[in-house]
Structure 1
């Protein structure tokens, strides 16, 4: 998740006459997004289980001058859980296969899965790892948060989840209606997903490669590189059916210029922490889509090659 949220103007979630959604939630992943979402759902009175690899001493959310704890239930083994009403999959995109054991245990006949990850094609990414027929709701995350340590999350700004319009979106909105997580259904989800990818596309790789914060985009040459990266991606996005144009390029650059200069990106935070990177689902998504449509993406391809090299080093150091 990029740490520079851009929240487009979209309608509020529609009111529905359906009965309140059942409130048993499992959150897979206790990173910045998973920990934050689990805490907000817990504070709203929902029954939350946080599914993690290693035990947590607690879950603390820092936001502004406020520090709050959330006494959520923690599970460290899929054998400890059973079917719930909703699963929120918040792992990094590259860690999706590792969630299969959890998904097989948590998904029953009435379970739906909301995928809170970066990139495009979220349904296709997750479907092979969930029981056949499980409803999957792709979710665009507009939350700026940083995992400072296991169970310790710093929330910077924004708490919005954008989902494609439809009955499943209405169920999800009803589920979280009492929380601080705002669910906004959108009509053109393909465009919305690519627009969100734009917020990641220059910020994440550039900050991670340079190991510098967002203030680096104040450099005119770095801003010019970002513009060229985005122009390449805009051509690819249009070929994929998204309504992306010059306004999105300039809007993203304005977003970078307005962001706090000491802000970061999820890819930067991962590199600084020695964790694997999410490049294949951000820069890689553009390069592969360009290949499908015969559109050249030389700048994005160059960044992808460099990010792959860094990622290999990080993985070798961790092994």
Structure 2
């Protein structure tokens, strides 16, 4: 008798959602992409070529059926709208993975889920750009970080933004669905054999803050200047502002319980320098496309938690005001 295939629903047909849907498909699962609008086709472009993705796209939440896994890949500010999909997709055995920026994944999503739903926060180290509807350029990065047991890896400060695999990974055999266990190991098993690595860390709070550092300066600076990473790498005045924004965020994160030190500032700047000068950020891409940006979940998180922990953050507060200004309608 054949083993039932695992049903995976990805909510959000943006750059990250499309890359993750491709990975789940390559891992041998039945994948459906849930979106506001149906693109003409789904294409993932990498250095080795362009690949069309044969995954069905739903645009009506009424068409959704229960999935084993729901991978929430919308921008954080779009979660309330994405919740329309939850009733149809989530059953008693569904696990929801929140693939978003920020340090409060569970707090903002759990109130919208049915009671008792298994929820797994995930940090996304995937640099991808939506070139046009349905056409994603996967520039680099192939790692998702999730909470693990105390004996799993510590939260190392590494970028995760290495080049994606240059060859398509053949579908892996789908294992028998395991009994209800910790979601981190099950999620790693779900994507085994795909182009994405699932890393489990014991200190997820520190990992989440280190991921926030990779966003908190580069994202708003590129968005406000409408420049790519070269502006941070080569303009001395912008470089100084970048360092100062990171220093404020490290102070807040350390007070919030993350194991951050001054070395995290230098390590984050090294990550920024590892990008190609022409690389951008998700907030830059959103602004260029006329979409709302995630400033409230990135810079806003630093400001709110700084206020709550009595840590002064004047520069991040100023940047937040500017980001609110450019998003004002």
- Offset, 1:139: 0.1
**C-alpha offsets along residues 262-298 of structure 1, whole Å, 9 cap, x if unaligned?**
1100000000000001000000000000010111100
Alignment partner for residue 175 of structure 1, among 190, 196, 212? Answer: 190
Provide the C-alpha distance between the structure 2 equivalents of 1:238 and 1:168, rounded to a whole number of angstroms. 27
Report the equivalent of 2:145: 162
Write out the 4+ residue segments of structure 1 that deviate beyond 6 Å after TM superposition: none
DSSP 3-state at the match of 1:147: strand
Provide the C-alpha distance between the structure 1 equivalents of 2:82 and 2:57, rounded to a whole number of angstroms. 15
Report the equivalent of 1:184: 199
- Offset, 1:65: 3.1
- Offset, 1:22: 5.7
Report the equivalent of 1:6: none
DSSP 3-state at the match of 2:108: helix
Residue 301 (structure 1) aligned with residue 317 (structure 2)? yes
Residue 291 (structure 1) aligned with residue 307 (structure 2)? yes
Alignment partner for residue 239 of structure 2, among 217, 220, 223? Answer: 223
User: Larger deviation: 296-305 or 120-129?
Assistant: 120-129
Residue 203 (structure 1) aligned with residue 214 (structure 2)? no
Which structure shows the higher helix fraction?
Answer: 1
Provide the C-alpha distance between the structure 2 equivalents of 1:22 and 1:294, rounded to a whole number of angstroms. 50
Q: Residue 22 and residue 168 in structure 1: after superposition, are their counterparts in 2 closer, same or farther (change >3 A)?
A: farther
Report the equivalent of 2:16: 33
Provide the C-alpha distance between the structure 2 equivalents of 1:280 and 1:22, rounded to a whole number of angstroms. 38
TM-score (norm 1): 0.90
1:199-278 matches, cutoff 5 A: 199-217=214-232, 218-278=234-294
Provide the C-alpha distance between the structure 2 equivalents of 1:71 and 1:21, rounded to a whole number of angstroms. 20
CA contact (8 A) 1:43 1:70 kept: no
User: Larger deviation: 298-307 or 128-137?
Assistant: 128-137
CA contact (8 A) 2:24 2:190 kept: no
TM-score (norm 2): 0.87
| Number of corresponding residues | 294
CA contact (8 A) 1:40 1:180 kept: yes
Report the equivalent of 1:281: 297
CA contact (8 A) 1:82 1:105 kept: yes
User: Larger deviation: 156-165 or 36-45?
Assistant: 36-45
CA contact (8 A) 2:23 2:191 kept: no
Say what the alpha-carbon RMSD is for the aligned residues. 1.2
Provide the C-alpha distance between the structure 2 equivalents of 1:47 and 1:257, rounded to a whole number of angstroms. 38
Provide the C-alpha distance between the structure 1 equivalents of 2:188 and 2:202, rounded to a whole number of angstroms. 15
Alignment partner for residue 42 of structure 1, among 4, 9, 25? Answer: 25
DSSP 3-state at the match of 2:327: helix
Provide the C-alpha distance between the structure 2 equivalents of 1:256 and 1:168, rounded to a whole number of angstroms. 31
Provide the C-alpha distance between the structure 2 equivalents of 1:196 and 1:121, rounded to a whole number of angstroms. 12
Q: Which runs of 5+ in 1 are unaligned?
A: 1-19
